[in-house]
């Protein structure tokens, strides 16, 4: 069995030290558990206020901080994302870090949110390749937020014999939707259905870590982070507040199901 810790926070705009302390708090609070992988949301250190404070190619002090947590708590980590600058371009990047604090994979978000008023592509350059993190307990496909709307992205990942997909996110709605109870519930229900479908379609564990509450600019994240089984069972689900979810998962279950249904070989 593998222990998965999924952290959901409301990252304060530009308050990097405060946000990193929240991540450390939830890892430390759950350090009595078996930690094989820790996940956190997209833009976990800055929220969407990142334009003036990009990190360097290696993720800067933010990723160094996370690397140190990995060593202290002897856990693998897939960060949410940090925005890093390489030459004159910025990328929205998720880092995979092993128990020794070593970066073993880097994924630059491919599908940027440029719709319905979103302008991520005005600042961020899209990535151009899918990425797998080969940890000591499982092979994990990496994705970020709006990637979830692109089924073929995940089809490419499962053809590489993965066991799990991790999706850090900052899934937001306008304030008028967020503040209407029925509209917010509809948005959350659609989010749940979308992520359960990706787990079931690809027959892997699917872990989505979302931001929660106020993201500035009259935008609100809808929470509802989840740990989902390959058969779309929700093993753990967050409400719309800061918290950490934990679940024990059986990687052998993925291998068994794939022996029954060879999903990766079906186009």
pLDDT score of 216: 87
CA 190 to chain centre: 18
Q: Where is pLDDT greater, at 121 or 211?
A: 211
Compute the distance between CA of residue 237 and CA of residue 228 in angstroms, rounded to an integer: 9
* Spatial separation of the C-alpha atoms in residues 44 and 178, rounded to whole Å: 21
Supply the pLDDT for residue 141.
98
Residue 33 gets which letter from DSSP? S
The predicted structure's pLDDT at residue 261: 87
Q: What confidence tens digit (pLDDT) does each residue in 58-115 have?
A: 999 999 999 999 999 999 999 999 999 999 999 999 999 999 999 999 999 999 986 6
Q: Are 249 and 227 in contact (CB under 8 A)?
A: yes
From CA 141, how far away is CA 131, in angstroms rounded? 6
At 121 the pLDDT is 63
State how far the alpha carbon of 202 is from the alpha carbons of 26, 97, 127, 193, in Å.
29, 24, 22, 14
Which pLDDT score, from 0 to 100, does residue 149 have? 95
**Tens of pLDDT along 104-154?**
999 999 999 866 556 776 789 999 999 999 999 999 999 999 999 999 999
**Residue 12 in this model has a pLDDT that exceeds 80:** yes
- Residues in a beta bridge with 237: 226
Mean pLDDT for the stretch of residues 150-171 = 96
**What pLDDT, on the 0 to 100 scale, is given for residue 70?**
98
Longest Cα separation, the chain: 50
pTM here is 0.96
Q: What is the pLDDT of residue 50?
A: 81
pLDDT value for 116 = 59
Look up the CATH number of domain 2-260: 3.60.110.10
Q: Which residue has the tokens 């709307």?
A: 149
Residue 49 pLDDT: 81
Adjacent-strand bridge partners of 10: none
Amino acid 266: pLDDT: 72
* Whole-number pLDDT of residue 117: 58
pLDDT at 36: 98
Q: What is the pLDDT of residue 10?
A: 97
Question: What secondary structure letter does DSSP report for 220?
Answer: E
Burial of 115 per CB tally in 10 Å (0-12, 13-18, 19+): exposed
> Would you place residue 189 in the very low, low, confident or very high pLDDT band (cuts 50, 70, 90)?
very high
The answer to whether residues 167 and 148 touch, using CB atoms and an 8 Å cutoff, is yes
- pLDDT, residue 128, reads 95
List the domain boundaries for the chain: 2-260
Exposure pattern of 152-178 as b/e (b: 16+ CB <10 Å)?
ebbbebbeeebbbbbbbbbbbbeeebb
pLDDT at 263: 86
d(CA 169, CA 241): 15
Torsion of CA 237, 239, 241, 245, to 10 degrees: -20
55: confidence class by pLDDT, cuts 50, 70, 90:
very high
């Amino acid at each position: 069995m593998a222990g998965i810790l999924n952290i959901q926070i409301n990252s304060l705009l530009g308050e990097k030290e405060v946000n990193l302390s929240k991540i450390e708090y939830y890892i430390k609070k759950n350090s009595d558990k078996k930690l094989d992988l820790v996940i956190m949301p997209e833009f976990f250190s800055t929220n969407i206020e990142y334009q003036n404070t990009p990190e360097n190619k290696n993720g800067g002090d933010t990723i160094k901080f996370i690397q140190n947590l990995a060593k202290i708590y002897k856990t693998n980590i897939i960060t949410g994302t940090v925005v890093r600058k390489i030459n004159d371009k910025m990328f929205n990047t998720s880092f995979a870090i092993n128990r020794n604090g070593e970066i073993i994979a880097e994924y630059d978000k491919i599908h940027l949110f440029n719709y319905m008023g979103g302008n991520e592509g005005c600042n961020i350059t899209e990535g151009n390749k899918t990425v797998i993190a080969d940890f000591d307990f499982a092979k994990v496909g990496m994705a970020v937020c709006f990637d979830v709307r692109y089924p073929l992205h995940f089809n490419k990942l499962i053809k590489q014999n993965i066991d799990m997909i991790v999706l850090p996110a900052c899934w937001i709605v306008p304030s008028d939707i967020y503040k209407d109870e029925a509209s917010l519930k509809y948005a959350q229900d659609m989010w749940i259905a979308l992520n359960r479908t990706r787990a079931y379609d690809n027959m892997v564990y699917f872990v989505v870590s979302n931001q929660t509450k106020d993201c500035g600019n009259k935008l609100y994240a809808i929470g509802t982070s989840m740990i989902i089984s390959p058969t779309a069972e929700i093993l753990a689900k967050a409400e719309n507040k800061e918290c950490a979810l934990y679940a024990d998962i059986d990687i052998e279950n993925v291998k068994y199901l794939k022996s029954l249904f060879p999903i990766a070989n079906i186009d």
